């Protein structure tokens, strides 16, 4: 969601902060701001819009070697300059940037107003800076600790004080913060991505940690006052910033990276010779796997859609009863968790608050939960302790593409491993494993020869008032994913349905020329889905079929035919999702949307 960056050292801080904010902008981009400490003064500059607008407003010679910055995704209060962070206390001498939500801000605000404080924003955050000011008696850490003691909710905060040049106080509870070690300089960020240009040595703050940061390093203590030391970790190469290369957008680049990201996810894990798969990170013995009674895959948005495919594979291939559930719903329904149940938490960012909440709910009830995560060292990966990294590499575009296919691939590998332990013979395991290993190349081939019919599909979808996406089984998950992409990138109203459900109501929406995208691989449901195509065509729909190459009957029936390579049913999502990713991209482009940073969205959703 929002992003925080901080710097203390000998360099001019503003360019470092702006560079960090640019790298974090994908997390939130309503507005941005920075506060720089120079000559005992806190100077704040904030702007509505992208970081570029802020950069244009920052004087090139802005002095000061201690600073904090923030890029915002609005929760409390509209997108205005006064609501942008950092916020200042009434004397303009303390600046504070905050990620998260202060749930009891209304009561705190009323009390502060009674005491004479005048608020300058509509945010929940502003109460915090006034509280820090109220408790400040020369000890910055004590004041922040005291103020946070009154807060209910989540926070990652960074605070600077006019009379403590060279010091940042940072604290975390539910909203990540990482401190980076430089040479005579120290960095702070809500996401290691912001630090990768400066340092690889980082320390992740844990919930209820408070850190005093200066140019020489940091000291960390617990909110209750106890001392603590945290291990310095070294960021892996995946954090290297590769930019957009020759691609016009990160989304297009990430779509085209899928052959490599999939290969990375599968490499060394699928072992065709043994007809199985190796996933050491899961920390499950064959006996543990044999004893699993039920698997629930948890996730949100795209990760939930990958989870639907994963659950189908766990049941279809490994014969373990399995389901997928939206994490935000799961965590509040007081789920029954048995001793032999297994939970898989799927998340690209590893920071999604709803998924993290679901993980904690499982753990509170003594259940076993493993992460299926992209970002190494992220909160979900750390809280789970064990799991699978999907290794798709940094995903910068807000719309998830390569993470989806890697999540599906990782879940298929886990299903193969469980299947081999429980029910699958070596031959069937080998066949499935070899087919999986061949997927990256087939994805590359398809992307290299994108069918021209995709342009007709884009035209139909951008002209239609409403688009239906239909599919059955795992293809329903693909339909859901295609619809989500088209909504978020092109803002085209659309809806995904299991194809057979159409006749139970939604078919009433079909009108002359309504575009209906049908994901129809050549599997056991093909003939039944063909009947649905007939039914919607009979009512005037224009059908775009994503079908198996060579299925001429399907191609003939559709108005627009988009063939994808033949694959085993559980593997089809890795191929049939490709045209839907590109369709959303091209539709967004045709409609002039901000492809990598669609309106109202943020990359990692760290608030409930
Ligand atoms: C859609 C999208 C979101 C995320 C969802 C979960 O393109 O990116 O729906 O999939 O917010 O995020 P992660 O996977 O980071 O938990």
Reported as a single tens digit per residue, the pLDDT across 133-168 is 999 999 999 999 999 999 999 999 999 999 999 999
pLDDT band at 192 (very low <50, low <70, confident <90, very high): confident
The answer to whether position 597 is within a domain reads: no
- If asked whether residues 435 and 509 sit together in one domain, one would say no
Q: Are 129 and 162 in contact (CB under 8 A)?
A: no
Nearest CA to ligand 1 atom 11: 301
- If asked whether residues 292 and 436 sit together in one domain, one would say yes
* pLDDT in the model for residue 2: 83
* Residue 400 in contact with ligand 1 by CB distance below 6 A: yes
* Residue 301 in contact with ligand 1 by CB distance below 6 A: yes
pLDDT band at 238 (very low <50, low <70, confident <90, very high): low
Name the residue range of residue 427's domain: 250-448
Q: Are 423 and 555 in contact (CB under 8 A)?
A: no
- If asked whether residues 443 and 467 sit together in one domain, one would say no
* pLDDT in the model for residue 51: 94
Q: Which atom of ligand 1 is nearest to the CA of 401?
A: 7
Distance between Cα 403 and ligand 1 center (Å): 9
Maximum Cα–Cα distance across the chain: 79
- If asked whether residues 463 and 438 sit together in one domain, one would say no
* Residue 406 in contact with ligand 1 by CB distance below 6 A: no
The answer to whether position 608 is within a domain reads: no
The answer to whether position 549 is within a domain reads: yes
* Residue 328 in contact with ligand 1 by CB distance below 6 A: no
Mutate to test the pocket of ligand 1, among 345, 352, 357, 488 (most ligand atoms within 8 A of CB): 352
Q: Are 310 and 419 in contact (CB under 8 A)?
A: no
CA distances from 105 to 1, 76, 412, 501, 596 (A): 19, 10, 45, 45, 33
- If asked whether residues 351 and 384 sit together in one domain, one would say yes
Report DSSP letters for 4-52, one per residue: EEEEESSS-HHHHHHHHHHHHGGG--SEEEEEEEETTEEEEEEEES-HH
Q: Are 551 and 522 in contact (CB under 8 A)?
A: yes
Last residue of a domain, one of 448, 480, 507: 448
* Residue 199 in contact with ligand 1 by CB distance below 6 A: no
On the question of pLDDT at 268 being above 90, the answer is yes
Reported as a single tens digit per residue, the pLDDT across 178-188 is 999 999 999 99
pLDDT band at 227 (very low <50, low <70, confident <90, very high): confident
Nearest CA to ligand 1 atom 6: 300
- If asked whether residues 153 and 286 sit together in one domain, one would say no
On the question of pLDDT at 551 being above 90, the answer is yes
Q: How far apart are CA 460 and CA 247, in angstroms?
A: 25
The answer to whether position 598 is within a domain reads: no
Q: Which atom of ligand 1 is nearest to the CA of 399?
A: 7
Reported as a single tens digit per residue, the pLDDT across 410-432 is 999 999 999 999 999 999 999 99
- The answer to which of 201-205, 516-520, 597-601 has the lowest mean pLDDT is 597-601
Q: Are 133 and 95 in contact (CB under 8 A)?
A: no
* Residue 606 in contact with ligand 1 by CB distance below 6 A: no
Report DSSP letters for 547-589, one per residue: EETT-HHHHHHSSEEEEE----GGGTHHHHHHHHHHHHHHHHH
Q: Are 453 and 552 in contact (CB under 8 A)?
A: no
- If asked whether residues 361 and 490 sit together in one domain, one would say no
17-21: Cβ within 8 A, 24+ apart? 17/67, 17/68, 17/69, 18/51, 18/54, 18/55, 18/58, 18/69, 19/197, 20/69, 20/187, 20/189, 20/194, 20/195, 21/51, 21/54, 21/69, 21/70, 21/71, 21/194
Q: How far apart are CA 23 and CA 16, in angstroms?
A: 11
Q: Are 497 and 520 in contact (CB under 8 A)?
A: no
Instruction: Name 45's bridge partners.
Output: 34
Q: What is the CATH number of the domain that holds 197?
A: 3.60.20.10
- If asked whether residues 129 and 221 sit together in one domain, one would say yes
Last residue of a domain, one of 416, 448, 480: 448
On the question of pLDDT at 237 being above 80, the answer is no
- If asked whether residues 409 and 468 sit together in one domain, one would say no
> How many domains is the chain partitioned into structurally?
3
Report DSSP letters for 142-185, one per residue: HHHHHHHTT--B-EEEEEEETT-TT-EEEEEEBS--EEEE-SS-
The answer to whether position 600 is within a domain reads: no
The answer to whether position 576 is within a domain reads: yes
Q: Which residues are catalytic?
A: 2, 603
- If asked whether residues 311 and 232 sit together in one domain, one would say no
* Residue 378 in contact with ligand 1 by CB distance below 6 A: no
On the question of pLDDT at 242 being above 70, the answer is no
Q: How far apart are CA 19 and CA 17, in angstroms?
A: 5
CA distances from 281 to 87, 365, 514, 547 (A): 42, 22, 47, 36
Last residue of a domain, one of 186, 208, 240: 240
For residue 147 the two structure tokens come to: 């103020």
What is the Cα gyration radius of the chain?
25
Distance between Cα 436 and ligand 1 center (Å): 24
Distance between Cα 211 and ligand 1 center (Å): 30
Instruction: Name 183's bridge partners.
Output: none
* Residue 349 in contact with ligand 1 by CB distance below 6 A: yes
- If asked whether residues 83 and 146 sit together in one domain, one would say yes
On the question of pLDDT at 449 being above 90, the answer is yes
Distance between Cα 401 and ligand 1 center (Å): 10
Nearest CA to ligand 1 atom 3: 301
On the question of pLDDT at 243 being above 80, the answer is no
Directed axis angle between helix 258-266 and helix 426-448, to 10°? 160
Question: Positive or negative, the Cα torsion across 139, 140, 143, 148?
Answer: negative
Element spanning 543, H or E = strand 542-548
Q: How far apart are CA 572 and CA 19, in angstroms?
A: 40
Q: What is the CATH number of the domain that holds 311?
A: 3.40.50.10490
On the question of pLDDT at 607 being above 80, the answer is no
CA distances from 200 to 14, 65, 196, 203 (A): 21, 21, 6, 10
Q: Which atom of ligand 1 is nearest to the CA of 604?
A: 15
* Residue 21 in contact with ligand 1 by CB distance below 6 A: no
* pLDDT in the model for residue 170: 98
- If asked whether residues 185 and 255 sit together in one domain, one would say no
């Amino acid at each position: 969601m929002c992003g925080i960056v901080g710097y203390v050292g000998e360099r001019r801080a503003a360019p470092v902060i702006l560079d960090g904010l640019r790298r974090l902008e994908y997390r939130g981009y309503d507005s941005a701001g920075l506060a720089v400490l120079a000559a005992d003064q806190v100077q704040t500059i904030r702007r509505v819009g992208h970081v570029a607008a802020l950069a244009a407003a920052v004087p090139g010679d802005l002095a000061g070697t201690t600073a904090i910055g923030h890029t915002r995704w609005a929760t409390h209060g509209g997108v205005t300059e006064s609501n942008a962070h950092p916020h200042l206390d009434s004397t303009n001498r303390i600046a504070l940037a905050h990620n998260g939500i202060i749930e009891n801000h209304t009561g705190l605000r009323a009390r502060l107003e009674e005491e004479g404080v005048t608020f300058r924003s509509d945010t929940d955050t502003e109460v915090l800076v006034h509280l820090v000011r109220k408790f400040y008696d020369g000890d910055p850490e004590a004041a922040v600790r005291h103020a946070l003691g009154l807060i209910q909710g989540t926070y990652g905060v960074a605070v600077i004080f006019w009379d403590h040049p060279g010091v940042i106080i940072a604290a975390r509870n539910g909203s990540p913060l990482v401190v980076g070690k430089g040479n005579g300089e120290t960095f702070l960020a809500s996401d290691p991505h912001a630090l990768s240009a400066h340092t690889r040595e980082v320390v992740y703050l844990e919930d209820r940690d408070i850190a005093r940061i200066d140019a020489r390093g940091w000291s960390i203590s617990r909110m209750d006052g106890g001392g603590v030391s945290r291990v310095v970790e070294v960021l892996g190469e995946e954090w290297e910033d590769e930019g957009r290369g020759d691609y016009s957008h990160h989304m297009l680049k990430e779509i085209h990276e899928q052959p490599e990201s999939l290969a990375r996810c599968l490499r060394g894990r699928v072992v065709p010779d043994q007809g199985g798969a190796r996933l050491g990170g899961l920390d499950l013995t064959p006996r543990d796997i044999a004893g699993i009674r039920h698997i629930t895959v948890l996730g949100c948005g795209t990760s939930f859609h990958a989870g639907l495919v994963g659950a189908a594979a766990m049941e279809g291939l490994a014969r373990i009863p399995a389901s997928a559930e939206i994490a935000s719903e799961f965590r509040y329904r007081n789920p029954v968790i048995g001793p032999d149940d297994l939970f898989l938490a799927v998340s690209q960012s590893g920071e999604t608050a709803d998924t993290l909440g679901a993980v904690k709910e499982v753990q509170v009830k003594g259940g076993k939960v493993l992460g299926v995560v992209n970002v190494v060292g992220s909160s979900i990966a750390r809280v789970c302790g064990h799991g699978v990294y999907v290794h798709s590499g940094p995903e910068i575009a807000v719309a998830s593409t390569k993470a989806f296919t890697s999540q599906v691939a990782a879940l298929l590998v886990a299903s193969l491993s469980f299947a081999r332990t429980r029910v699958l013979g070596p031959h069937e395991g080998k066949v499935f494993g070899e087919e999986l290993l061949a997927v990256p190349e087939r994805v590359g081939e398809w992307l290299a020869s994108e069918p021209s019919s995709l342009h007709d599909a884009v035209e139909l979808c951008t002209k239609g008032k409403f688009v239906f996406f239909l599919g059955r089984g795992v293809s329903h998950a693909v339909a859901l994913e295609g619809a989500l992409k088209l909504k978020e990138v092109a803002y085209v109203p659309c809806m995904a349905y299991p194809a057979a459900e159409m006749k139970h109501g939604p078919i009433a929406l079909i009108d002359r020329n309504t575009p209906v995208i049908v994901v129809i691989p050549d599997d056991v449901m093909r003939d039944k889905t063909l009947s649905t195509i007939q039914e919607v065509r009979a009512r005037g729909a224009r059908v775009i079929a994503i079908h198996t190459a060579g299925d001429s009957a399907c191609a003939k029936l559709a108005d627009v035919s988009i063939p994808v390579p033949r694959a085993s049913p559980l593997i089809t999502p890795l191929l049939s999702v490709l045209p839907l990713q590109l369709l959303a991209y091209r539709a967004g482009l045709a409609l002039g949307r901000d492809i990598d940073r669609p309106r109202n969205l943020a990359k990692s959703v760290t608030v409930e």
